Structures are given as structure tokens and as C-alpha cells.
Amino acid sequence: MAVTTIAPDRAAAPPQTAREPFWVRLLLIGTALLFLGLFLVVPLLAVFTQAFEKGVAAYLEALREPEALSAIRLTLIAAGIAVPLNLLFGVAAAWAIAKFEFPGKNVLITLIDLPFAVSPVIAGLIFVLLFGSRGGLFGPWLAEHGVRVIFAVPGIVLATIFVTFPFVARELIPLMQAQGVDEEQAARVLGASGFQMFWRVTLPNIRWGLLYGVILCNARAMGEFGAVSVVSGHIRGMTNTLPLHVEVLYNEYNFVAAFAVASLLTLLALVTLVLKSVVEWRVLREQRRGGAGGGNHTA
């Protein structure tokens, strides 16, 4: 009870920081805004002004040309394969790590972080070394059977999966560890099958964390440049994803088209940020609902 009666008082008192002198506040807020403006807002505006420099018609034209459409399609394919796979992998890995004790657990956790630690270019090179048709480890054998990985769509998908696989698992592991296994065990005792337990108990408990991980994973999958650049071969209309297409256009001094395509990726980033904020807000609200009831122990 004490907690619930004290909390409103605390909320009513002005926070300590608001008592700083006016000029200090002005300086701090001003610096922060200036920095944000220079490094985030101005570039963002620049992307759109450059994209529309020659009018809306030119903008739309740049997006409608076959090579741009092909790049959009390839990006959607790569993300469409990588995100669901990493969703599955992430849930499975987080489940194993959070709910079971087994030898090699720490090795697995380290391996999941590997793509964060390795430069994307190196990641791309790894796949070239493995699947390159000349000198690659499996490349010649695959080539004999008519499968092309490097400089083709499979390589791009593989590189995308590699670079994005920590996102979902990293998001879920601490969440699932904090939740423990009691609820799952309760479900089993009550007669739920493994699938019912997962579907009715585990999944609802991790749903927001999972969505958060998927959003970040998707953003990275669509925006990845380095690793994909190494394995793609930059074949126009064939193996160019959106970021690669932007580079190609820019190198050809086709600025309007380059920025028009770049604006698509920028929009994707903005949508991602909004979704991320919505999810964060939902999580906070759920925690608050939990916290409010938790303090009231003696009723």
C-alpha cells in the first residue's frame, strides 16, 4: 500500500534537473538540437530535396524503370526469406538458451553475436570463399550441378541471413531468461502439449519483444550493403538490391534517380522508427499495468 500512496507525491515534485539555471538548460538543449539537426534532419531533408530536384515526374520515373523495380523485388525477396528464417532461428535459439542448461551454451551465445562483431565485408568474403565458382570450397561442386550462389540471388539471401541473424535472438534471450520456466511448467502440469504450451503461454509472453526484434531485423535486411555488395557482383537488373542500386546510380552521376531510390530506404527507416516506438510504448504500458498491481500486496 505504501508504494501506491507515495508514488503520486514523487511524480508531482519537479525533477531535480529542472532546477538548473535557464542558460544551462538552453545551452544543453540547443546543443542537442543543433547536433540532431546537422547530422540527422539536414541529411534527411537533403535526400528528399535532391530526389525531387527535377520534379515529381522525374522522381516517379526513377522508381518505375525496370532496374529499380528489379532492385526493389530483390530486396523484398532477400528480406522475405531472411526475416522469417531468422524469426524461427531466433525463437529456437533464445528458447534453448533461456530455458535449458546444456554444455556449450556460452559458445552458442558468442556465436550468435558473431555477425555483430565481424565486418559485413568479411562476412561477404566468407561466402565467396565457401561458394565461389572458382576456388570456392563448395563452389565447383555446386557449379557442376547447375547451382550458382555467388553473384546470384542465393548468395545475397545467404549474406543477408548471416548479417541479420542476431537481432531476434538477442532481443528474446534476456526477456525469456527473466520470465523463467514456471509458467511453461504450469502449462505442462495442466495437461498442455508442447505446442499448446508454446502457442498459448510462451508466445504471448514474448510477443512484443519478438515484434521488436523482427522490425530491427527487417530494417537491417533491407538496408544491408557491405556483405551483399561482396557477393552480388552488381549485375544490373539481376543482382542489385536497393542499396546497391543507389550506389550504382550515384557513381553514374545520376543523382536524381539515386536519391529517389534512396528516399525509399529513408521512408523504410522512418516507418521502422515509428513501429519501434509504438512497440516500445506498448511494452512500457504493459509493464506499468504489471507494476501498479504488484505494489498492492496486502489487499
Partner 1 sequence: MSIEVENISKTFGTFTALKDIRLSIGTGELVALLGPSGSGKTTLLRIIAGLETPDAGVIRFHGEDATRQPVGDRGVGFVFQHYALFRHMTVFENIAFGLRVRPRKLRPSNEQIKTKVMDLLHLVQLEGLAARYPSQLSGGQRQRVALARALAVEPKVLLLDEPFGALDARVRQELRRWLRRLHDDIHVTSVFVTHDQEEALEVADRVVVMNEGRAEQIGTPEEVYEHPANPFVYNFLGNVNLFHGRVDKGQARLGSLAVDAPAHAGGQDAPVVGYVRPHDLDIARSRNGEPTIEAVIRHVHAVGPVVRVELERRDTGDPVEAHLTRERYRELDLRAGEQVHIKPRKMQVFAEDYSI
Single residue of 93, 168, 187, 231 touching partner 1 by CB under 8 A: 187
* Contacts to partner 1 from residues 273-292, by CB under 8 A: 289-292
276-278-280-285 Cα dihedral, nearest 10 degrees = -170
Q: First vs last Cα of the chain: how many Å apart?
A: 8
Q: Cβ–Cβ contacts within 10 Å for residue 94, how many?
A: 25
> d(Cα 64, Cα 49) in Å, to the nearest integer?
19
Q: Cβ–Cβ contacts within 10 Å for residue 165, how many?
A: 22
* Contacts to partner 1 from residues 21-40, by CB under 8 A: none
Strand, coil or helix: 20? coil
Amino acid at 41: V
Single residue of 57, 144, 191, 253 touching partner 1 by CB under 8 A: 191
Single residue of 55, 80, 174, 293 touching partner 1 by CB under 8 A: 293
> With contact defined as beta carbons under 8 Å apart, do 163 and 218 qualify?
no
> d(Cα 118, Cα 114) in Å, to the nearest integer?
6
Cβ closer to partner 1: 138 or 281?
281
Cβ closer to partner 1: 99 or 188?
188
Which three cell numbers mark 190? 495442466
Cβ closer to partner 1: 119 or 185?
185
5 scored as a contact of partner 1 (CB under 8 A): no
Single residue of 192, 238, 268, 283 touching partner 1 by CB under 8 A: 192
144 scored as a contact of partner 1 (CB under 8 A): no
Q: Which residue matches cell numbers 532546477?
A: 19
* Contacts to partner 1 from residues 153-182, by CB under 8 A: 182
Q: What's the min distance (Å) between Cβ of 260 and partner 1? A: 44
Q: What's the min distance (Å) between Cβ of 177 and partner 1? A: 16
Q: Cβ–Cβ contacts within 10 Å for residue 104, how many?
A: 8
Where do runs of H (alpha helix) occur along 132-193? 139-144, 153-164, 166-179, 182-189
* Stretch touching partner 1 by CB under 8 A, among 31-39, 134-142, 193-201, 257-265: 193-201
Single residue of 96, 118, 205, 269 touching partner 1 by CB under 8 A: 205
- Residues in contact with partner 1, counted by CB under 8 A, come to a total of 26
Q: What's the min distance (Å) between Cβ of 193 and partner 1? A: 7
Contact residues: partner 1, CB under 8 A: 182-183, 185-193, 196, 200-201, 204-205, 289-294, 296-299
